[in-house]
């Protein structure tokens, strides 16, 4: 690899880590840990299948951005108003609840780590204020640097925690979760699996976020990534998110499965319970390590999500304003320019934060139910988003040499069947029995 190639690759790397930061949060810390704790190793194959079948659609975001210079929202609009309308409906239906869930989880861990005796609403407000302050200072540049530091700390602390859990040789047969097999085929079991897979390793609407981040990275560096560079960056983040999902499932199975301890519904109580169980199993000395790993996990997610929704809202407005035909490409704007997008992004930050705080205030402490609703909504919308995203990368807009090859197309069709079949099965089970 030449020095020029290495420099180009370094310039392209960033959006994939932002995606991983958004992914490794509630889905991993809460849902994956619950999955391992309640079902042992039983759900690991299902989680790996979900990661495999979601892969094409999440990869299509940076692929499209690198090949065309536009984000996926432009692609949806060029399919027709109906496609962009579907994405907008999914976004409006989930944005406040997803922002609220990740913020509330972070607030619970923040209270635990720093020993604060404040209400979850007040702590959530402090977390959001910190994120907004961070993002308003050179929004993307600060996010990009901060996420790289956070993801490095998270990866190290999580790997150490998993290694410590293997100090005593596990009884794999006892951890298999085989006795829980019959529980999977109940309404509650299917509902939990659907909720687990909804954000595992990340919701499909993040494909559009990733395409917007790819544009922002290109504007910041002045380097327009090739499809190969953008896909490499994506794979780096996606592989990391998948491996960390397995790590948290293993932690849940190794340290909690078979203990008979139920999970508290409140964010603060859940966080304390999680860290207590780890410290009890690994030793009291590990409490700080686990707490820091959990807090960095959730802060990375909250920071990424707090940036993503306002950025996507502005991209939607820009796409509608330009009627999908003269969409903004990756050319950097003039230095110091503060146009409508600059102000709009900051206004959208405040609107999303206010909506999330209102929801936290109204919802009270029904934390795990809150999480299940958000993740289930994400999974039920996944087949729709998968289909329209596949349509975009196979459209005439996409250069022929950048379209997915036969293997990736085959995996995409298998993913649509998997996501649609699972959603349909749950809906039938939910309303017919």
Identify the band that residue 400 occupies on the pLDDT scale cut at 50, 70 and 90. Answer: very high
Instruction: Select the more confidently predicted residue: 130 or 376.
Output: 130
**Top-confidence residue, 346 or 198:** 346
pLDDT at 332: 43
Does a cis peptide bond (omega within 30 degrees of 0) precede residue 161?
no
Q: Which one, of 64, 404, 40, 398, lies nearest residue 210 by Cα?
A: 64
pLDDT in tens, 163-172: 777 776 677 8
User: Which tens digit of pLDDT belongs to each residue from 29-38?
Assistant: 777 888 888 8
- Banded model confidence at residue 91, pLDDT cuts 50, 70, 90: confident
414 pLDDT tier (thresholds 50, 70, 90): very high
Q: CB of 386 within 8 A of CB of 419?
A: yes
Dist. CA 61–CA 387, nearest whole Å:
13
CA distance 303 to 287: 24
pLDDT exceeds 90 at position 72: yes
Task: Choose between 129 and 267: higher pLDDT.
Answer: 129
Per the prediction, the chain carries an average pLDDT of 80
pLDDT of residue 325: 47
d(CA 253, CA 340): 49
Residue 354 clears pLDDT 80, i.e. is over it: yes
What's the Cα-to-Cα distance from 65 to each of 312, 362, 391, 403, rounded to whole Å? 14, 38, 15, 12
C-alpha to C-alpha distance for 237 and 239, rounded to whole angstroms: 6
> Quick one: average pLDDT of 367-389?
78
pLDDT of residue 154: 65
Token pair recorded at residue 151: 């993801």
First and final C-alpha spacing in the chain: 59
CA distances from 132 to 104, 250, 353 (A): 16, 34, 9
pLDDT at res. 216: 81
Average pLDDT value for residue range 425-433? 73
**CB-based burial, 145-174: b 16+ in 10 Å, e otherwise:** ebbeebbebbbebbeebbebbeeeeeeeee
Residue of 1, 4, 56, 16 lying closest to 233 (CA atoms): 16
Look at residue 335 in the predicted model and tell me its pLDDT.
40
Give the number of other Cβ atoms within 10 Å of residue 278's Cβ.
26
Which one of 34-43, 213-222, 317-326 scores highest in mean pLDDT? 34-43
**Whole-angstrom distance, CA of residue 16 vs CA of residue 201:** 13
What is residue 184's predicted lDDT score, i.e. its pLDDT? 81
Neighbours of 427 (CB within 10 A): 12
Give the pLDDT band of residue 146 (cuts 50, 70, 90). Answer: low
Task: Find the Cα–Cα–Cα–Cα dihedral 216, 339, 344, 301, rounded to 10°.
Answer: 20
Q: What local confidence, expressed as pLDDT, does residue 163 receive?
A: 78
Going by pLDDT thresholds of 50, 70 and 90, the confidence category of residue 324 is very low
User: Among 16-25, 42-51, 268-277, 379-388, whose mean pLDDT is lowest?
Assistant: 268-277
- Of 12-16, 109-113, 260-264, 418-422, minimum mean pLDDT range: 260-264
224-250: average pLDDT? 88
User: pLDDT tens across 118-141, in order?
Assistant: 888 899 999 999 888 888 776 556
């Amino acid at each position: 690899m030449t020095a020029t190639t290495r420099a180009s690759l370094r310039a392209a790397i960033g959006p994939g880590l932002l995606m991983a930061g958004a992914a490794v949060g509630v889905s991993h810390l809460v849902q994956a840990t619950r999955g391992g704790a309640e079902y042992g190793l039983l759900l690991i194959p299902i989680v790996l299948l979900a990661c495999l079948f979601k892969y094409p659609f999440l990869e299509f975001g940076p692929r499209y951005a690198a090949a065309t210079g536009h984000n996926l929202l432009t692609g949806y609009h060029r399919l027709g108003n109906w496609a962009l309308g579907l994405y907008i409906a999914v976004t409006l239906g989930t944005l406040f609840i997803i922002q609220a869930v990740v913020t509330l989880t972070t607030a619970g861990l923040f209270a635990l780590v720093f020993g604060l005796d404040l209400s979850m609403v007040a702590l959530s407000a402090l977390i959001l204020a910190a994120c907004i302050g961070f993002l308003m200072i050179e929004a993307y540049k600060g996010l990009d640097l901060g996420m790289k530091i956070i993801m490095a700390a998270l990866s190290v602390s999580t790997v150490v925690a998993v290694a410590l859990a293997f100090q005593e040789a596990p009884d794999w047969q006892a951890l298999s979760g085989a006795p829980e097999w019959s529980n999977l085929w109940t309404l509650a079991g299917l509902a939990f699996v659907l909720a687990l897979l909804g954000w595992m390793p990340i919701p499909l609407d993040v494909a559009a976020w990733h395409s917007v981040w790819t544009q922002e990275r290109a504007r910041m560096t002045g380097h327009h990534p090739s499809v190969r560079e953008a896909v490499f960056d994506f794979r780096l983040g996606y592989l990391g998110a998948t491996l960390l999902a397995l790590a948290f499932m293993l932690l849940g199975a190794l340290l909690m499965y078979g203990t008979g301890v139920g999970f508290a519904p409140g964010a603060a109580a859940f966080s304390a319970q999680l860290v207590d169980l780890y410290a009890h199993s690994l030793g009291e000395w590990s409490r700080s390590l686990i707490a820091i790993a959990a807090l960095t996990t959730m802060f990375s997610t909250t920071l990424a999500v707090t940036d993503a929704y306002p950025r996507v809202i502005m991209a939607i407005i820009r796409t509608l304003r330009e009627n999908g035909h003269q969409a903004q490409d990756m050319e950097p704007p003039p230095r110091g320019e503060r146009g409508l997008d600059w102000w709009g992004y900051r206004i959208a930050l405040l609107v999303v934060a206010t909506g999330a705080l209102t929801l936290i205030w109204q919802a009270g402490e029904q934390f795990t139910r809150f999480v299940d609703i958000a993740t289930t909504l994400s999974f039920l919308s996944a087949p729709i988003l998968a289909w329209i995203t596949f349509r975009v990368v196979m459209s005439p807009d996409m250069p022929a040499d950048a379209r997915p090859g036969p293997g990736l197309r085959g995996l995409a069709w298998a993913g649509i069947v998997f996501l649609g079949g699972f959603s349909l099965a749950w809906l039938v089970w939910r309303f017919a029995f």
